[in-house]
Structure 1
Amino acid sequence: MNPLYMSQKLYEHFEHIDEVKHYYGLLSIYALLQTAEEKQDPVLLEKCKHILSRFPDRIEHPRYNFPSYRIGGIPKAYALMKGYMPEASNQVREYAEEMMTAARDRKGIMSYPYDPEKELIWIDVAMAVTPYLLFAGLALDERRYIDEAANQTFLMYEEFLNPDNGLLHQSKNWAGPGKYSEDHWSRGNGWGYLPLAELVQYLPPNSVHRPKAEKYFKNLSAALLPYQSKRGLWRQEIPFEYSYEETSGTGLILYGIGIGLRSGLLDKEMYFPALQRGIEGLNKISINPDFSTERSCPGCLCPGEGENKGTVQSYVTLMLPHRDEHHSFAPLMFSMVEAYRNGIYDVPRND
């Protein structure tokens, strides 16, 4: 089956079961935009523009950690950058300026806005901030935004890096002052990998940030690769062989690998088999014939209570996967788009 068709059907299933919003919904819209581009499908592109035109006035918004979600966040900034929605210029600029004033910890890392004195930081923020500011900066010719996009991801990569294995922890201060979560969470590493992938994909060739972006991207790629399971997935707790194989982190990692292969930063002989095995694994294990999804971890931020808060045990035993978990759709769609871009035009199905 064509992976672009699969990406579109995953989105259609998602919008059938719920209204597509929140950050995970916005990432799905971003993936749908990429799907429309690769399909060269003007009808699907118009659908994407219509979906984004509903933000902010025709969407009932929950509380957001980042107000840019109100206008459509990353896909709105991407659509502006690509020239699909020039009318979004003022919106994207307004919320980029708001993001530039967000609460930060003493090192300058954007922190939880509702309790700023505790300096609560988590790797998920790299996903929320870097692509939006990068696309806004490129669209609006604002170097400040591009500089901050790179700065936030670099700071978080450095803060959460475990030098013993090259993987990332998720959070700091949520389990107590000065304490890091003990995890190497699958989706958390994906949240760190995705913005690095977008930086190496879209930073101008002469950008002062490119050498560090490429170095960190290649380092994290090399750290992730050995932990791919025999079935092609990465685990909820990546280094723990008894942890369950997890969909959303796997999809994000495969997206990054696909970008690395196309950009020439990753060795094809080493990484293409991992991409191929991962795509086949996701289709066998995580995507049902009706395009419902399996094995995605639910929302997960330093889980547990008391002494167990942020421990590997809590990540593995408390945060169990379930069908049609909302975080699953965008990563699966991303992986399908990158499969197609890397020459995988037919994916065997279990139908």
Structure 2
Amino acid sequence: MNTLTISENLYNHYESTAEIKHYYGLLANYALVLTAEANQNKELLTRCKNIMRKFPNQIEHPNYNFPSYKIGGIPKAYMFMKGYLPEAESEIRDYADEMMTAVRDDKGIVTTLFDQEKKLIWIDAAMATTPFLLFAGLGLKEEKYIDEAVNQAFLMYEEFFDEKIGLLHQCKNFVGEGLYSQDHWSRGNGWGYFALTELVKHLPKQSPHRKKAEKYFIQLSNALLPHQSKRGLWRQEIPLEYSYEESSGTGLILYGLGTGLRLGLLEFEAYNNAFHKGIRGLNDICINEDFSTEQSCPGCLCPGEEEEKGTVKAYVTLKLPYKDEPHSFGPFMLALAEAYQNGIIDLNRLYKG
């Protein structure tokens, strides 16, 4: 089946199960735009415009840690940048300004809105801040937004980087003051990788930030590559051989690998087979015939209680995957849209290869 057809059908299935509005839903909306762009599907692009025009007034919003979700977050900013939604200019500017003044820790990393005195920081925020500010800055031609998009990605990468293994921890101060979670969580590393992927994908060639963005992107790519399973996936606790294979992090990692290959940042011989194996594994193991999904970890912010809080054991045993877990759809769609861009048009042909 065509990879873009699978991507669109994943969104259709997701839409049939829930109202798409949370951050993981907005990521699926962003992936739907990329799916439409990949083969210049005008009908699908019109659908994306109509979806985004429902934000904020036709959606009943829950409480968000990042208010930009209210107007459509990443996909709204991206579609404005690309000229699809010029009427969104004032919304994008207002919420970019709000993000510029959001609460930060002493190093300048955005913190959670609750328990602000504890300066709780987590790598998931790289997904929320960097792409939105990057697209806002490029669309509005405001360097201050671009600079802060880069700043958040770099600060979080540096803060959560584990020098021993080259992977990222998820969070700090949730276990106790100055303490990091012990994990190298699949989707957490995927969130950090996603932010770096958007930087290398969209920063202008002349940007003073490009060299460092490429350096960090390649470093994390190199750290992730050796941990791919025999079936093509990455695990919930990435370096732990006995941890379950986790699909949402896998989708984000594959999106980054495909982008790096296409941009010539990653060596073809080292990464191409891994990318193809991953796309095959994602399709075979994690996508059912009805386009429901499998193997995705549920919400997972420093799990556990007391002495087990934030431990590898808590990440692996307390947060178990289930069918149609909502974080899965966006990462799967991103990986498939990028597969198409890398010439994987028909998965049947991939199998024959």
**TM-score normalized with structure 2 length:** 0.98
**Paired position in structure 2 for 1:15:** 15
Q: Does 1:108 align with 2:112?
A: no
**TM-score normalized with structure 1 length:** 0.99
Instruction: Summarize the alignment of residues 155-194 of structure 1 with structure 2, pairs less than 5 Å apart.
Output: 155-194=155-194
**Paired position in structure 2 for 1:253:** 253
Q: Work out the CA distance in 1 between the residues paired with 2:45 and 2:217.
A: 30
Q: Work out the CA distance in 2 between the residues paired with 1:284 and 1:51.
A: 30
Count of aligned residue pairs for this structure pair = 350
Over residues 174-212 of structure 1, what are the superposed CA-to-partner deviations in whole Å (9 max), with x where a residue is unaligned? 011111000000000000000100000100101111111
Shift of 1:116: 1.5
**Paired position in structure 1 for 2:28:** 28
**Paired position in structure 1 for 2:224:** 224
Aligned-pair Cα RMSD in Å: 0.9
**Paired position in structure 1 for 2:340:** 340
Over residues 280-300 of structure 1, what are the superposed CA-to-partner deviations in whole Å (9 max), with x where a residue is unaligned? 001111000000000000000
Q: Work out the CA distance in 2 between the residues paired with 1:84 and 1:71.
A: 15
**Percent identical:** 66
Q: Does 1:83 align with 2:83?
A: yes
Shift of 1:221: 0.1
Over residues 35-69 of structure 1, what are the superposed CA-to-partner deviations in whole Å (9 max), with x where a residue is unaligned? 01112111111100000000000000000000000
Q: Work out the CA distance in 1 between the residues paired with 2:215 and 2:179.
A: 27
Q: Does 1:149 align with 2:141?
A: no
Shift of 1:274: 0.7
Instruction: Summarize the alignment of residues 1-351 of structure 1 with structure 2, pairs less than 5 Å apart.
Output: 1-348=1-348
Q: Work out the CA distance in 1 between the residues paired with 2:96 and 2:114.
A: 19
Q: Work out the CA distance in 1 between the residues paired with 2:282 and 2:38.
A: 21
Over residues 253-300 of structure 1, what are the superposed CA-to-partner deviations in whole Å (9 max), with x where a residue is unaligned? 000001101111000111111110000001111000000000000000
Q: Work out the CA distance in 1 between the residues paired with 2:4 and 2:284.
A: 17
Q: Work out the CA distance in 2 between the residues paired with 1:115 and 1:137.
A: 30
Shift of 1:346: 1.1
Amino acid in structure 2 at the alignment position of 1:205: K
Q: Work out the CA distance in 2 between the residues paired with 1:10 and 1:279.
A: 15
Q: Work out the CA distance in 1 between the residues paired with 2:163 and 2:114.
A: 31
Q: Work out the CA distance in 1 between the residues paired with 2:36 and 2:94.
A: 27
Amino acid in structure 2 at the alignment position of 1:229: S
Structure 1 stretches lacking a partner, 5+ long = none
Q: Work out the CA distance in 1 between the residues paired with 2:161 and 2:296.
A: 24
Over residues 296-315 of structure 1, what are the superposed CA-to-partner deviations in whole Å (9 max), with x where a residue is unaligned? 00000000000000000000
Structure 2 stretches lacking a partner, 5+ long = none
Q: Work out the CA distance in 2 between the residues paired with 1:142 and 1:121.
A: 26
